[in-house]
Chains A and B, each alone.
Chain A
């Protein structure tokens, strides 16, 4: 019972860390970046390459994946994305989905369409007993890292000067500029951090799921479910939503295997009917 709960939480945490970057760009910058999964894939494949080809330790791959995806995000933001901030959402969707297909083709060309696997270091494999339930060490590791990230992000957003500048820049870019806030730079940094988090999520994901070039499309659905259930105005909303979905998914598959795969979608439909702005959003959707 507790094992199922912990498995679900770990899965939810993984969903959250994959989706949180999207929540930053979508919720804070009001930009629909469907190519978010491509950054996660970049982080995942970097980890796979570093571990398989260069023998880099797994723990070192995590920050490397963050930096790699963040730099990639920064480059694309400076060259491509910034031209689309003022465009309509449809333009943004078309542009970013185009990027997804390009990323998939590139990965397919470079790595082939096979599923890639990494073998985790020994200290992260195996299971331990935790409050009477047995849980995989790696899943516990994911839970700890993600919890730290949530707290960190929430603090940065609400307690720091950067956080308040960012919120100001999002609420009214023109006024923020007038107050002397460098909106362009803030957006660039925010976008880079969002992409970096996706990369980190991808790197962490290599331990649980396998990677193939269809990853960005396969997981886009999950990102969007997390964001739409959780709402985009906070960090905690998607976090709680991801956990809810993870637990519901795992528990559903365990207790009612016949319909297990549908539960995650059922929750989304019900939430969207009852609270179209998202379960944990305070204001109406933007």
Chain B
């Protein structure tokens, strides 16, 4: 008796599944692969919140199609990203892939996107070469050279003659080091030493002491989002500022997500980046207050706008194709799109598929009792890659 009931149930479920494809045509699935657990989990949480906020603000239907967001956790492991991408493409038949918290994760998905002809929107990873690795990659985050070169220009123009660089020893770090050195030396500065700390490095003491002993005018820092706090703790402990060394870096180090907990010792630090929660524009004010409300007061960082603008790009592309989800057509629709995001004006370069955006020079300041990156100079329309 019971067995018959179960069988009936299974039969009904099978029927429902069979009926589903007819319904599915009206649904456009977007599969985000993000590190929701593990060391890069903050990246995943920020991007998810950003993407969901866009959908909450703009409705879940675009060009007559219902948008369904599927979020998969790759824990920050590249083999998982690739497997999940394949599953999303084969089983869930997603129209667009997105997310990718770290460079290796994005690179592992490239071949899947190319083979399946599914556009993949990079919402976080920042190594410049990723977009070139698959014709289906589009980027809404930033690249390290894009964010680093303005810092080198600012340093050269502000009486900094010698610099030591300290970066995490992996793709984006090396990208950043290379961009800084090239730009700074082209402007007449001198990089005394390029230090690289292992990515999983709990102890920066030796590197920081080395930098201190070389007595440069400034120390340039890059570590990925989420690791800035432990680095800055050791920078403060070593009292580099008292030794007359200015601390500069990309905005990854003074990540909005953690900045407030890093302590007042950071006040005065100069960084260059594409987004600050303190960016002064009506779009950003609305974005930050909606974000805080939606996430129980988690401050949005640059990762969150990557997710928010990633969804914006997908919506704009679907509007242009009038709901058509063919991969090549969607990809074409994404090329050359431009709009005003919470971070400022941005566009997708039609030939490189990389992001063009403003980069800002900011100083850590206390605003209403909280630490923020306050922007004071803008370098307009910096290209993501050439």
Interface residues, chain A, with chain B CB atoms under 8 Å away: 3-4, 7, 11, 108, 112-115, 117, 119, 125-127, 136, 138, 208-210, 212, 214, 218-219, 249-254, 257-258, 260-261
Inter-chain contact B239/A260, CB cutoff 8 Å: no
Q: What's the nearest-Cβ distance from chain A to residue B132, in Å?
A: 28
Asked whether any CB of chain A lies closer than 8 Å to the CB of B263, the reply is yes
| In the complex, chain B residues 180-234 whose Cβ is within 8 Å of any chain A Cβ | 195-198, 200-203, 205-207, 209-210, 226-227, 229-230, 233-234
Q: A4-B206, A11-B205, A250-B206 are in contact. Are A113 and B229 (CB under 8 A)?
A: no
B37 surroundings in chain A (CB, below 8 A): 108, 113
Residues of A within 8 Å of B206, CB to CB, are 4, 7, 249-254, 257, 260
Contacts of B209 in A (CB 8 A): 3-4, 7, 254
Contact call B210/A254, Cβ cutoff below 8 A: yes
Give B225 Cβ to nearest chain A Cβ, in Å: 11
B38 contacts the other chain (CB 8 A): yes
Smallest Cβ-Cβ distance to A14: which chain B residue? B203
**Cβ-based interface call for B177 (8 A):** no
Q: Which of B16-24, B25-33, B254-262, B268-276 contacts A (4 or more CB under 8 A)?
A: B254-262
Binding site for A on B (CB under 8 A): 37-42, 45, 169, 195-198, 200-203, 205-207, 209-210, 226-227, 229-230, 233-234, 236-239, 257-258, 261-263
- A47 CB, nearest partner CB in chain B, Å: 14
Other-chain residue from B40, B200, B210, B229 in contact with A218 (beta carbon distance below 8 A): B200
A125: chain B residues at CB < 8 Å are 236-237
Identify 5 new A-B residue pairs, CB closer than 8 A, beyond the known A117-B229, A253-B205: A11-B205, A108-B37, A117-B261, A125-B237, A261-B201
| Interchain residue pairs with CB less than 8 A apart (12) | A4-B209, A113-B39, A114-B257, A115-B226, A119-B261, A208-B234, A209-B202, A210-B202, A250-B205, A253-B197, A254-B210, A260-B206
Tell me whether B239 and A210 are in contact (CB under 8 A).
no
CA distance A251 to B203 in the complex (A): 12
Residues in B neighbouring A258, C-beta threshold 8 A:
196
Q: A223 to nearest B CB, angstroms?
A: 13
The residue that B233 contacts in the complex, of A3, A117, A214, A253, with Cβ under 8 A, is: A117
Are A218 and B202 in touch, CB under 8 angstroms? yes
CB B203 to nearest CB in A, in angstroms, measures 6
State whether B196 touches A113 (Cβ < 8 A).
no
Cβ–Cβ contact A113 & B42, under 8 A = yes
Q: Are B203 and A212 interface neighbours, CB within 8 A?
A: no
Q: Known contacts being A253-B207, A257-B210, is A126 close to B226, with CB within 8 Å?
A: no
Provide the residues of chain B in CB contact with A115, threshold 8 Å: 226-227, 229-230, 258
- B263 and A114 contact, CB distance less than 8 A: no
